[in-house]
Amino acid sequence: MLFPQSQLLLRNLNDLQGKVLLVEPMADDLAQELTRAGVDFSVYCTDAAVAKAFSRANACYFAARLETTDKFDTVVLFYPKSKEQLAFTLAELSAVLHTDSQIYLVGDNKGGIKSLVAHAAKFGLHAHKLDNAKHCLWFALTGLFAKPLPKQDFGRFKLSAQIAGVSKDLEFCSLPGVFNHGKLDAGTALLLQQLGHVQSGKVLDFACGAGIIGALLKLQQPAIELYATDICALAAASTTATLALNKLQGQVRCQDGLTADLPKFQHIVTNPPFHTGLKTDLSVAEIFISQCKQHLTSGGTLTLVANAHLPYAQWLQTAFGNVKELARQQGFVVYQSKFSG
């Protein structure tokens, strides 16, 4: 399976000269196609599923930061979901370029790449459209070697939230590309109000983002043993920084879904993702819900927030045999299921 962005890249295969670096590609079969074509490629990505898909690359730099002394002749950047992340990633690329490096960007027409020319100009760079197919665009970008963007550090933000009826203030860290970067979204705010039952034991903040849920729970109940996971290295790094900033203890892992090496939890709490890239992908949440029982102790709970129109209640009932609606507001619903095994 190939996403349209990968198909457009293969259509422009002749542009991939010398040592090639793919930046934030999609989790598909592109690696196999490039290997068959004899392309000398490496990957820089912040997504655990992408890292797994590109394990056959010459090198896979799977981390929030691009740390290598290698230089690349061709760099292909898959246009990110946020313009803030574009600036962050371009800044990371400066160190791997040489005078003659060629940079290309590929992206879905609906993902913001149509405004690349104007956006690049704000950085003092020039973007030139080369191809248009598969509802995607292929651009060349020039000027980054001569005018590198400054590297970005964690943003530090403040919020106030109600958690189990108690108002809490939190200072947290976030990198561009993390879900709802620098803000407390309405769904998470509603979820926090329903977490009074989380008082002890091992607790998992799944899809932790910037670590807001886990940090507030730990501040509220210092005795809990906190774990936090996210598929995104930017999120895992942000959560680690948030916990450190607040002098809180917790285990943070960057991984795709629930893995066998995780312990059993008394509570799992989450505002789960339902997108893969730009596309709605409900299978992520459905698989997560179906696997949760294996990671809960007897009497353990799964509490999550979801958009009201999504079929989470049905999946929870199927998986656990029970589901309770705890709150409903602004198009969001908080559900809870208990494992009686």
- Whether 137 and 174 share a structural domain: no
* Residue 150 lies inside a defined structural domain of this protein: no
* Residue 148 lies inside a defined structural domain of this protein: no
- Whether 94 and 219 share a structural domain: no
Q: What are the tens digits of pLDDT across the range 74-121?
A: 999 999 988 889 999 999 999 899 999 999 999 999 888 999 999 999
Neighbours of 282 (CB within 10 A): 15
Q: Which of 48, 15, 24 is nearest to 207 (CA)?
A: 48
- Whether 206 and 259 share a structural domain: yes
- Whether 254 and 114 share a structural domain: no
- Whether 233 and 321 share a structural domain: yes
Question: What is the Cα–Cα distance from 287 to 267, expressed in whole angstroms?
Answer: 18
- Whether 201 and 225 share a structural domain: yes
* Residue 65 lies inside a defined structural domain of this protein: yes
Q: What are the tens digits of pLDDT across the range 18-62?
A: 999 999 999 999 999 999 999 999 999 999 999 999 988 889 999
Q: Are 179 and 273 in contact (CB under 8 A)?
A: yes
Q: Which of 243, 186, 167, 187 is nearest to 210 (CA)?
A: 243
Domain that holds residue 256: 155-338
- Whether 258 and 172 share a structural domain: yes
Q: Are 57 and 118 in contact (CB under 8 A)?
A: no
* Residue 149 lies inside a defined structural domain of this protein: no
- Whether 127 and 214 share a structural domain: no
- Whether 164 and 130 share a structural domain: no
* Residue 147 lies inside a defined structural domain of this protein: no
- Whether 127 and 178 share a structural domain: no
CA count, 13 A, side-chain hemisphere, 33: 15
- Whether 231 and 206 share a structural domain: yes
Q: What does the longest C-alpha to C-alpha distance in the chain come to?
A: 63
Answer with the one of 83, 112, 142 that is the final residue of a domain. Answer: 142
- Whether 116 and 9 share a structural domain: yes
Radius of gyration (Cα) for the chain, nearest Å? 21
pLDDT in tens, the chain (341 residues): 999 999 999 999 999 999 999 999 999 999 999 999 999 999 999 999 999 999 888 899 999 999 999 999 999 999 998 888 999 999 999 989 999 999 999 999 988 899 999 999 999 999 999 999 999 999 999 999 998 999 999 999 999 999 988 899 999 999 999 988 889 999 999 999 999 999 999 999 999 999 999 999 999 999 999 999 999 999 999 999 999 999 999 999 999 989 989 999 999 999 988 645 545 567 788 889 999 999 999 999 999 999 999 999 999 999 999 999 999 998 999 999 999 87
Answer with the one of 78, 112, 142 that is the final residue of a domain. Answer: 142
The total of structural domains in the chain comes to: 2
Answer with the one of 110, 142, 174 that is the final residue of a domain. Answer: 142
* Residue 211 lies inside a defined structural domain of this protein: yes
Q: CATH code at 318?
A: 3.40.50.150
End-to-end CA, the chain? 38
